[in-house]
Copies of this chain bind each other. A is one copy, B any other.
Amino acid sequence: MLEVNGRRYALPSRPTVIVCVDGCEPDYIAQAVAGGHAPWFKRTLAAGTALIADCVIPSFTNPNNLSIVTGAPPSVHGICGNYLFDVESGTELMMNDPQWLRAPTILAALSAAGKACAVVTAKDKLRRLLGHGMRGICFSSEKANAATVEEHGIDRVLELVGQPLPDVYSAALSEFVFAAGVALMRTRCPDLMYLSTTDYIQHKHAPGTPGANAFYTMMDGYLGALDEMGCVIVVTADHGMNAKTRLDGSPDVIYLQDRLDGWLGAGRARTILPITDPYVVHHGALGSFATVYLGDEDVSRTMACIASLPGIERVLTRDEAASAYELPPDRIGDVVVVSERSTVIGTSAAKHDLSALEVPLRSHGGVSEQRVPLIVNRPIAGLDETQRWRNFDAFDLALNRAQ
């Protein structure tokens, strides 16, 4: 047994694959299964274990991937967004460097225990965080052509996978993750493999639409191949996804920095959108979660102003948010703001380039995107389906209950 972040894990006795499907609102699977587009999922839901779990808030990619691989909430691992305001240096910066990680990963512990591990992510932004402290294979689809044995534990990846380097904004970026997973399992047989996709499709295509169903058919085929090789497979997600549009199909945005500037004076408060990253084409940096640094301004009066805006779901103080969502209090603002199912939060209108949004916005970040699937391709006896399952129970189910 290993102990990581206060939880105990058995070593895998057979090849085990944990899959994080980015933006996998449960209805994507329900619609694909009901429409006959996902035969592996249909068989697995009937014969295996099918739970609905809660992801961590903010319902963004990096906090949730790190929760899954540490088995712990952001209050433990420290990654509460892509982007933060560093109070010490007084600057806004990306949180994708392992210096921000406060907890070891289960992957690192498994590799230290002599188990062969492999990680494939879609975008490179996650690679260094997921692979921190881990010996083994760790690369991204995005930069698969640049993988070296020294840094990534593998080279000649395009040759191994037999697919060209995919565009960073494409369904192929995620397909490459699965194709690489199957090729790695065939040729290297890792004990533990972690696969993490991108939500390019989910940001554009609603559950049950042809574009979404085609993506789940693709995934279904690769998961079926891994299953045939005898793998224990757990499928979960980092967050769900909802339409965030006005009636005319334009994004339903609350420009919070503009509102704060109006109430308090320009620049008195600072709005941070933890969704912010270099890849903004499919969501325009618009999600349903923001934190606000207020300096000397009155916290409760400002909170009341924010709460009065239509489309706002919750406004919490730093301490309330740290407690409610298990967040590191030193990395969030004085106030945390969550918007509703159909609304996103922006900073200033002038700072968001929405010209690349080709279809009505779908996005995430809020409590309305907290439900995610948690599927195991094995039946598990005596499971309490009424407990609150989390996506970061994935390794516990895979290693302790499904071997």
Contacts and interface: CB of A to CB of B under 8 A. Distances in A.
A328 interface: no
Contacts of A81: none
A382 interface: no
B50 A207 contact: no
A31 B360 contact: yes
Given A360-B34, A371-B342, A386-B310, A245 B209 contact: no
A115 interface: no
A375 interface: yes
Given A310-B386, A342-B371, A371-B342, A30 B248 contact: yes
A267 interface: no
Contacts of A246: 30, 50, 52
Interface in A270-285: none
A33 interface: yes
A57 interface: no
Contact of A33 (B46, B247, B386): B247
A249 B30 contact: yes
A291 to B, nearest CB: 23
A30 B247 contact: yes
Nearest to A208: B206
Nearest to A29: B247
A319 interface: no
A268 interface: no
A365 interface: no
Contact of A208 (B27, B209, B310, B375): B209
Interface in A337-388: 342, 359-360, 371, 373, 375, 385-386
Given A30-B243, A52-B247, A207-B243, 12 more contacts: A30-B247, A30-B248, A30-B360, A31-B206, A34-B359, A42-B248, A45-B248, A46-B248, A50-B247, A209-B209, A309-B386, A342-B371
9 contacts: A27-B243, A29-B247, A30-B249, A45-B248, A50-B247, A206-B208, A206-B209, A209-B209, A310-B385
